[in-house]
Amino acid sequence: MSAVRQNPSSTRSGVDLIALISELGPRFAARAAEHDASESFVAENYAELKECDLFAAGIPGELGGGGAPYPEVCDALRVLAQYCSSTALALAMHTHLVAAIVWRWRRDPQAVEAFLRRVVNERLVLISTGASDWLNGTGKAERVEGGWRVNA
């Protein structure tokens, strides 16, 4: 893969995210139907995203991240979804948390800088409970023949 970082200590900034997603995408697309059919997690795709440092794409370059602006990260997610929507959703969940922490870093760097550096250096993937972040849920799921009906 030409766009993949070859040296773990090399810079992560300046990568063309759309070109990188376009390079990875066909492999992800080839696996997408099987993951959908088996309801399995896209672990292989996640490993490739991690290898290419895409989990650090939105972290500022001065912290070792990719330095990609938020709109560019969003564009990359839209392109990724065309290849494998499950991979795009999983990456978007991580990216949402990173974007919130970067927003805070821009206002109070000392509070979160060390954490953002850890995300970059240790290639961490952030997770959240999602629906219980700060909003009260109003949805309801009920079992129906063949699956679930969700009203929310």
Q: What is the per-residue pLDDT across 105-135, written as a single tens digit (0 to 9) for each?
A: 999 999 999 999 999 999 999 987 655 556 6
**pLDDT-based confidence at 11, cuts 50/70/90?**
very low
**pTM beyond 0.85, yes or no:** no
**pLDDT-based confidence at 99, cuts 50/70/90?**
very high
Average of pLDDT values for 53-73?
95
Evaluate whether 60 touches 105 at the Cβ level (below 8 Å).
Answer: yes
Q: How far is CA 134 from CA 62, 111, 131, in A?
A: 30, 20, 8
Question: What's the chain's average pLDDT?
Answer: 87
What is the rounded distance in angstroms from the CA atom of residue 65 to the CA atom of residue 102?
11
Instruction: Show the tokens assigned to 50.
Output: 């991690």
Q: How far is CA 54 from CA 11, 49, 102, 112, in A?
A: 13, 5, 15, 20
Residues 6 or more apart in contact with residue 109 via CB below 8 angstroms? none
Class assignment of domain 17-125? mainly alpha
126 — phi, psi (to 5°)?
-90, 145
Helix axes 43-51, 85-107, angle to 10 degrees: 40
